[in-house]
Amino acid sequence: MPSLYVHVPFCVQKCDYCAFYSHSLRDSSKDLISVYLEGLEIELAKRQKDAPQGVSSLFVGGGTPSVLGARDLERLLVMIRKFFPSDPQREKTMEGNPGTLTEEKIDLIKRYGINRFSLGIQSFDDQLLKSVGRIHTANQARKAIQRLRAAGFTNLNLDLMFGLPGQSMRIWQETIEEAISNSPEHLSLYGLMLEEGTPLYTRCFESNAPCPANERCLLPNEDMQAEMYEWAARRLKQAGYRQYETSNYARRGYECRHNLGYWRGEDYLGFGPGGVTCLNRVRWKNIEDVHTYYLRLLERRSPIDESGEEVLTLRECMAERMILGLRLEEGVHLQSFKNDFEVDLRDIYQGVLERYKNKDVFIIEGDYFRLNPKYAFIANSILQEFV
């Protein structure tokens, strides 16, 4: 059974570091959301056949799904439920920004069966939030957590970021401590990636203008970022969270089912402009333009971005399975690998294993092949060996 992802490509405004496909509603025409919803409804109806047995999980992400008004949000949830009904027990996540999450919207999504909420908090430091263009404040984040709990959400994820310009170790530690004090079931910790084309990239590399966070742009260097990562990993472990993936921590039983599917190489269906699908070793991406997406669907044409369709070779699929699977604490399941690719991973990657034979880089334990956690900091260079 594949998982289902619905992309909502709207935000109040673009954050300075963000390279995801989304439209700032401050700069968009008012009818863009209606056009999006019209297109989405056609796509959902048309592609029901992609999941004849149903879907394993739902993730409504973006962008910022909570930026939709209550009426649009309801329309979105009604159409998902209509074309992809699923068992109430299955994980159903929605992402949101604390600045756009009202009590009315929380009640609504709860009524429509969303049982996991992922809040983009990033930091509990107001100055830092402002300096990277986030629209919310720390107090709004605190309030959003309280409201979600009061509405009965028992599975909350908090997204936090480290490596932000002007972020000191002390500020990062305070954010982690405050996050822990709210007892979320899940935490995702992301290091800032400076992506070309974003305002933050321009500010840091292409202009001489000082970063607003500091007199000079003070991005924490690599060593400091590594320290932030390691400190948080230790502290969260102490607080009872399991680091089940490089950037993800959960109380036992609250690991994100949807994302586990990606890391384990399961099929996924992506809807909406920019949505990515991988089904039976073919991967494609919908066009990143709301109007073109809608018009194509209206004219019964494919909304797929032609340059974004690829038929993956067996070798590419195996490499992906290794690279994503070794990010997981559990590692790669040996028998699943064999079932899917008709070869034992120890045979196909014999060369790599030989090269690391004298080091304890890889561990085989029970049914799993995994990376020794002490090599996590050089994981990227090791994982390249599988490509």
Q: Quote helix, strand, coil % in the chain, to nearest 5.
A: 45, 20, 35
Amino acid at site 313: T
Per CB under 6 A, 120 contacts ligand SF4: yes
What secondary structure letter does DSSP report for 211? Answer: P
What secondary structure letter does DSSP report for 376? Answer: G
What is the Cα Rg of the chain in Å?
A: 21
Per CB under 6 A, 20 contacts ligand SF4: yes
Query: Phi then psi for 168, rounded to 5 degrees?
Result: -90, 170
- Residue of the chain from 8, 15, 77, 164 that contacts ligand SF4 (CB under 6 A): 15
* Spatial separation of the C-alpha atoms in residues 113 and 109, rounded to whole Å: 7
CB nearer to ligand SF4: pick between 39 and 62: 62
CB nearer to ligand SF4: pick between 121 and 148: 121
CB nearer to ligand SF4: pick between 241 and 271: 271
Residue 350 near residue 357, CB atoms below 8 Å: no
CB nearer to ligand SF4: pick between 265 and 274: 274
Per CB under 6 A, 63 contacts ligand SF4: yes
The token duo for 31 is 């009818």
Tokens 């959400």 sit on residue: 153
* Spatial separation of the C-alpha atoms in residues 116 and 3, rounded to whole Å: 15
- The least CB distance from residue 11 to ligand SF4, in Å, is 3
* Spatial separation of the C-alpha atoms in residues 55 and 2, rounded to whole Å: 5
- The stretch among 16-24, 34-42, 103-111, 180-188 that binds ligand SF4 (CB under 6 A) is 16-24
Per CB under 6 A, 64 contacts ligand SF4: yes
- Residue of the chain from 14, 186, 203, 283 that contacts ligand SF4 (CB under 6 A): 14
CB nearer to ligand SF4: pick between 63 and 166: 63
CB nearer to ligand SF4: pick between 139 and 183: 139
Per CB under 6 A, 22 contacts ligand SF4: yes
Residue 14 near residue 189, CB atoms below 8 Å: no
- The least CB distance from residue 293 to ligand SF4, in Å, is 18
Closest CA to 327 of 228, 212, 246, 240: 246
- Site residues for ligand SF4, 87-116, by CB under 6 A, read 97
- Residue of the chain from 62, 98, 261, 272 that contacts ligand SF4 (CB under 6 A): 62
> Can you say how many angstroms the Cα of residue 289 is from the centroid of all Cα atoms in its chain?
21
Amino acid at site 364: I
- The least CB distance from residue 56 to ligand SF4, in Å, is 24
Amino acid at site 142: R
- Site residues for ligand SF4, 204-243, by CB under 6 A, read none
- The stretch among 13-21, 46-54, 105-113, 253-261 that binds ligand SF4 (CB under 6 A) is 13-21
Q: Which residues of the chain form contacts with ligand SF4 (CB under 6 A)? A: 11, 14-15, 18, 20, 22, 62-64, 97, 120
